Structure 1
Amino acid sequence: MPSENLENVKLEPLGTNKKLDEHSVLLEEGAGGDRVQEDGGEDYDPHLHREVENPTTNAETLIHLLKGCLGTGILAMPEAFKFSGMANGIVSTILIGALCTYCLHVLVRAQYVLCKKLKVPLLTYPESMKVACELGPKCLNRYAPYAPAVTDFFLVFYQLGICCVYVVFVAVNLKAVIDEYTRPTELSLTIYMICLFVPFVFIICVRNLKLLAPFSVVANIITFITFGVVGYYVCQDLPSFSELPSFGTLFDYPLYFGTTLFSLQAVGVVIALENNMKTPKQFTGNFGVLNVGMVLVTVIYVVMAMMGYWKYGNDIQSSITLNFPPGDILAQVIKLMYSIAIFISYGLQGYVPVQILWSNYIEKHIQSKPLFWEYVLRLACVLLTFILAICVPLLGLFISLVGAFCLSALGIAFPAIIELCAYWPDNLGPGKMILIKDVLLILIGIVGLCAGSYSCIFSIVEALAAGKT
């Protein structure tokens, strides 16, 4: 999952473009790597030139990484195992976790190489794509001016997709609790979403993230209490393990892939955390923060998904909280508490697309009343997420679609493109292994995006046609 709890971490590296001209680096249109200032480039260490106001220690960075990755996706993972099968799910989750971790290493390492070449302390993700296209193969040079906008598109789509997931999650769990006390009269899910609109507008209109910090601490506490309660429910009266299918169908596997990628991929978290570390060189070592954090996250996800699917089998729902005994007071309290935690996280997730759109595309065109128009943008983002959530109130499939469409690009294909261009043309390794490996990663990203998106959209249309909301 993305950075749900990074109120103390600068979010600028996610998508805010700075002007590279400020660093006196002029890249001619269509320039190759030989035209970049490289005199003394090997002696320049970007880490030593970063100015971070409140750098985080290794332990603090690890805690932020764990908090950022353990979000709503973990509650959807048991349903993902229904699509993959138990044995296939366990093995595939470990492999996808390893793939995500490796691609994050690739991205951080490639950005470091680009920073050394350009003699700048850091680059944002969109900047990295632009510079990579300028320095890479000639066939990519022409696309350099458009690279930041394409990257921003996926970042904004991803974050707004997360916001849609949060709206559906809160509404579904709230409905599940209230329906127990209003039967036989039950309001539709759309009514619950409409009632939640104003509170969500208020939370996204908080412009200073520090104001959300105390609430985020409460949200973190609720999150870990929820995980404990989930463990309490799934470990009781377990059925026979052998009755569960080991493999799902080939058509359903992309649904599993999208949900797992949504849950495990943390590209936004990693960029922000690495740029904010006191000792960034210790982020990517063999026993560095990234490896330790991702191993822990992957193990937690495998255990949670395995136990949830083992307990509920094919009856598992899009959020495991919906499988809890509906009349159980503890289950109802947890649903309400975790809905509050997700509501708070909506403010943090919505902050990112607002910042990208406002800083990069809108602010420069506003001549008067900038604050008013910024609030209009915030309102528009909430309105868009609610419209999408109302039109497609399918929590599990929405999670899978966001993961497959956005993270196949942001988390797999784009890092490979940046690395390929960063080492182009003379540092591609023996037998051009870096070229071969990155082309393979790009193909995996493209296949994941296309196959995952197709399966999700097909399943969404099929479910809506059948009236399954």
Structure 2
Amino acid sequence: MFILILLYVGMGFLGYWRYGEETLSSITLNLGSKDFYHSESKSNDTASNYDPYEHRNVSHPTTNVETFIHMLKGFLGTGILAMPEAFKMAGLANGFILTILIGILCTYSLHVLVQAQYVLCKKTRVPFLTYSGLTKAALLNGPIAFNKFAVMSSYLVDVFLILYEMGMCCVYSIFVSVNVKQLVDEYLLEPMALEFYTIILLVPFMLILSIPNLKWLAPFSFVSNLLTFGSFGIILYYVFSELPLIENRRLVGTLHEFPLFFGTTLFALEGVGVVTALENNMKTPKSFGGYFGVLNVAMFFMMLLYVGMGFLGYWRYGEETQSSITLNLENKDVLAKLVLGLNSIAIYLSYGLQGFVPVNIMWNTYLLKRLSNLKHVWMFEYILRIVVVIVTVLLGLFIPLLGPCISLVGAFCLSALGIVFPAIIDICVKWPNDLGYKYWILIKDILLVVVGILGLLSGSYSSIAQIVQKLSIEDYS
């Protein structure tokens, strides 16, 4: 594993150093060879000379480095801090293996979307497609039976994306509130209610979400990444300071807790809402996919960090592991307070990136064309941003349960967005002649649809049941 890490880092660093912004999705492209993402299809429809990437007109495009930074920030949120609890549900052995498998599945699904977008953009001769537009185009180009669901599918994807990203923002508001309360209450004569801390976050969240584009958000993501990695170093100091015998930890979790593990891990590792927006806003989108593209390099580092944090966190705290590992630290220590502060600021800075997606969908897809004739139309966009903040903070106010909310968002939204829809899109794009030997691609995608639906139903049920149970206990007490 150490040698593999050196190879990955070395190839990525030296390849980008050599070719810079001209680096393509696979370094073989820079040597004059063909790449999987951009090879011409066998069909006559896609064999045109139209290259979608050459026709994109993005007002504030992001570089490869800025996109990588955004990807790190899109993944390094509350999910990684919840991974020790996920390992508590699954056990050390199961958690280690299944987290890697889920990470590979998430990476594969993202590649499917990127490849499908390129193929369908060539067919339809448009520079880019949103996730919802991609789903609609795929169903129109797929089996005839799917055509009648094309329009409905685009709305359905947008609904899932909005729910997912607003759910992320809700989780962020809960996380910051819980951590700030733990940090500040010690200095007060009487501890204040969590609801108070949630409400006072309204204005700061409105300010960060008022930043209008990803280009201007890049510095905030960079600072957030620095704070996050700094806090990880301190967390690992606490973890390694008193590691117990590993024999005292479960290797395998219980079956009824697996849906919660699945939802939490999927929430942590799936970034479909951010990834599609990032790829569409790149200056050199050809550098996104490929073996050593931005996507693979970012996901490789993410899986290492998530598996490491989950494994070591559960090994250290065992059955006492909480919904965020920061809550297990001795909050009277200076270093523990520093972790709470660093993570609170980092997650706050990430709110702008996560909130960008639902605002972008609602504004550019549905509202702008209806309000474009009005004066001061920009005011309505900022009103929308304020409404998004109010809704997400209020949800965090009424359901202040970090762990179950993370699992619910992951199971309900990301099972559909990260597994089911990419598999359906893959079937449609490759229909009817590119489904592999004895239709193995079709069989594989059908199995993924089944897995995604089972994960959605079981994970959502388990998460909602846990939320209801905990809220009932709190009301009774």
Question: Structure 1 length as normaliser, TM-score?
Answer: 0.86
Aligned to 2:237: 232
Aligned to 1:449: 456
CA distance in structure 2 between the aligned counterparts of 1:358 and 1:108, rounded to whole angstroms: 23
CA distance in structure 2 between the aligned counterparts of 1:328 and 1:361, rounded to whole angstroms: 49
Check conservation: 2:435, 2:441, Cα contact below 8 A: yes
Q: 1:467 to 1:140 in 2, by over 3 A?
A: same
Check conservation: 1:47, 1:121, Cα contact below 8 A: yes
CA distance in structure 2 between the aligned counterparts of 1:381 and 1:410, rounded to whole angstroms: 21
Aligned to 2:117: 111
Aligned to 2:309: 304
- Alpha-carbon RMSD across the aligned residues, in angstroms, is 2.3
Mapping 1:331-370, distance limit 5 Å: 331-366=336-371, 368=374, 369-370=376-377
1:434 Cα deviation (Å)?
Answer: 1.7
1:196 Cα deviation (Å)?
Answer: 1.9
Q: Output one character per residue of 1:138-164: Cα deviation in whole Å (capped at 9) or x when no partner.
A: 222111112221111111111100110
CA distance in structure 2 between the aligned counterparts of 1:282 and 1:363, rounded to whole angstroms: 31
Q: Output one character per residue of 1:322-346: Cα deviation in whole Å (capped at 9) or x when no partner.
A: 1111211121122122212211221
Aligned to 1:202: 207
Check conservation: 2:209, 2:352, Cα contact below 8 A: yes
Q: Output one character per residue of 1:355-375: Cα deviation in whole Å (capped at 9) or x when no partner.
A: 211222223333535333333
CA distance in structure 2 between the aligned counterparts of 1:57 and 1:216, rounded to whole angstroms: 14
CA distance in structure 2 between the aligned counterparts of 1:106 and 1:371, rounded to whole angstroms: 35
Aligned to 2:98: 92
Check conservation: 1:265, 1:407, Cα contact below 8 A: yes
Q: 1:49 to 1:263 in 2, by over 3 A?
A: same
CA distance in structure 1 between the aligned counterparts of 2:74 and 2:384, rounded to whole angstroms: 25
1:66 Cα deviation (Å)?
Answer: 3.0
Kindly provide the amino acid, as one letter, of the partner of residue 264 in structure 2: T
Q: Output one character per residue of 1:241-288: Cα deviation in whole Å (capped at 9) or x when no partner.
A: 011011111111111111111111122343234445565455433344
Check conservation: 2:70, 2:221, Cα contact below 8 A: no
Q: 1:409 to 1:200 in 2, by over 3 A?
A: same
Aligned to 1:23: none
Aligned-pair identity (%): 55
Matched, 1:429 2:436: yes
Aligned to 1:8: none
Q: From 362, 378, 386, give the equivalent of 1:379.
A: 386
CA distance in structure 2 between the aligned counterparts of 1:198 and 1:186, rounded to whole angstroms: 22
CA distance in structure 2 between the aligned counterparts of 1:171 and 1:54, rounded to whole angstroms: 33
Q: Output one character per residue of 1:76-109: Cα deviation in whole Å (capped at 9) or x when no partner.
A: 1111111111111011101111111111121112
Mapping 1:56-205, distance limit 5 Å: 61-182=67-188, 185-205=190-210
CA distance in structure 2 between the aligned counterparts of 1:51 and 1:355, rounded to whole angstroms: 16
Q: 1:50 to 1:304 in 2, by over 3 A?
A: same
CA distance in structure 2 between the aligned counterparts of 1:282 and 1:211, rounded to whole angstroms: 21
Check conservation: 1:309, 1:316, Cα contact below 8 A: yes
CA distance in structure 2 between the aligned counterparts of 1:47 and 1:347, rounded to whole angstroms: 26
Which range is displaced more, 198-207 or 134-143?
198-207
Matched, 1:321 2:326: yes
Q: 1:279 to 1:357 in 2, by over 3 A?
A: closer
Check conservation: 1:85, 1:244, Cα contact below 8 A: yes
Aligned to 1:413: 420
CA distance in structure 1 between the aligned counterparts of 2:103 and 2:79, rounded to whole angstroms: 14
- 5+ residue gaps, structure 2: 1-42
Kindly provide the amino acid, as one letter, of the partner of residue 433 in structure 1: W
1:293 Cα deviation (Å)?
Answer: 2.5
Check conservation: 1:38, 1:117, Cα contact below 8 A: no
Question: Structure 2 length as normaliser, TM-score?
Answer: 0.84
Aligned to 2:295: 290
Q: SS state of the match for residue 284, structure 1?
A: coil
Q: From 254, 260, 263, give the equivalent of 1:255.
A: 260
Check conservation: 1:79, 1:318, Cα contact below 8 A: yes
Aligned to 2:222: 217
CA distance in structure 1 between the aligned counterparts of 2:294 and 2:213, rounded to whole angstroms: 28
Kindly provide the amino acid, as one letter, of the partner of residue 103 in structure 2: G
Count of residues in Structure 1 that have an aligned counterpart in Structure 2 = 432
Q: 1:209 to 1:417 in 2, by over 3 A?
A: closer
Q: Output one character per residue of 1:196-224: Cα deviation in whole Å (capped at 9) or x when no partner.
A: 22222233234355555544433222111
Check conservation: 1:61, 1:273, Cα contact below 8 A: yes
Q: Output one character per residue of 1:20-64: Cα deviation in whole Å (capped at 9) or x when no partner.
A: xxxxxxxxxxxxxxxxx9557354443444456676665654444
CA distance in structure 1 between the aligned counterparts of 2:218 and 2:311, rounded to whole angstroms: 33
Q: SS state of the match for residue 419, structure 1?
A: helix
Kindly provide the amino acid, as one letter, of the partner of residue 439 in structure 2: K
Check conservation: 2:69, 2:225, Cα contact below 8 A: no
1:379 Cα deviation (Å)?
Answer: 2.2
Kindly provide the amino acid, as one letter, of the partner of residue 174 in structure 2: V
1:123 Cα deviation (Å)?
Answer: 1.6
Check conservation: 2:62, 2:214, Cα contact below 8 A: no
Q: 1:231 to 1:40 in 2, by over 3 A?
A: closer
